[in-house]
Amino acid sequence: MHVLSFQLSALGIGLFLLGLGVGWWAAHFFQQYIRTACAQELARLRYAHQRLQQDFNTLSQQATHCEHEKAIALTQLAQSTDVKAFEQIRLQLLHARNQLRETASLLAKRERQLHRLNDRAKLLKKQLMIPAPIVNQAYPHAATEQTHALNCIQGLDTNSLQKLQMLGILTCEQLATCSTEQLRLMQRLISDGKIIPFATWVKAARLLVGKSHTNSTLAQ
């Protein structure tokens, strides 16, 4: 019994020692493998660092060379006459563009003035050319009586008088025979954005012509 126990104990101790040996060998093997892997990784990192350092030096040299070429190009550009000529041409083009804009605005203004003059000419030829028979028909004694000038109307300034004369209205008799449509056309053509009291002037002209006609009738 004691012999069997001793044998089992010896077997257990042997197995234990064998396990320790296997464990130590495995630990030593993995430790050696890890050291080798770390050494290889360190060598790879050193090589990569050297490559990066070489690339950095190369790029630094290229950047220095580019800066030098840039400085030379800027110096040549500053000394070149083409840049000055280009700047002068650019300024001339800007000035020409501004002149074209001003000319276009002036042309548009002249076109509006031409349209207004055209309307005035049409009004002068077709609308406000009052024949003598119409005046005589409205005022039968106007042909034998003395006509009244437009300056007889109060409130009619020199500027408005000139505009009426441009439209062919020279006497109070002509102004008195103007219709409502003719007054609207005159208001649109020569008002220049201001309200002109044509109706008041026509009323005053009609009163003046009617008063003159009454006095002539009484005198007869």
Mean pLDDT by 10 residues, the chain (220 residues): 72 83 87 89 91 92 91 79 78 91 89 75 55 42 60 80 78 82 75 73 83 59
Two structure tokens written together for 111: 């076109």
Q: What share of the chain is helix, strand, coil (3-state, %, to 5)?
A: 85, 0, 15
Measure Cα distances from 1 to 6, 9, 11, 12, 13 in Å: 9, 12, 15, 16, 18
pLDDT of residue 59: 93
End-to-end alpha-carbon separation of the chain, Å? Answer: 185
pLDDT of residue 126: 52
Record the pTM.
0.36
Each domain of the chain, given as residue ranges in start order, spans 129-219
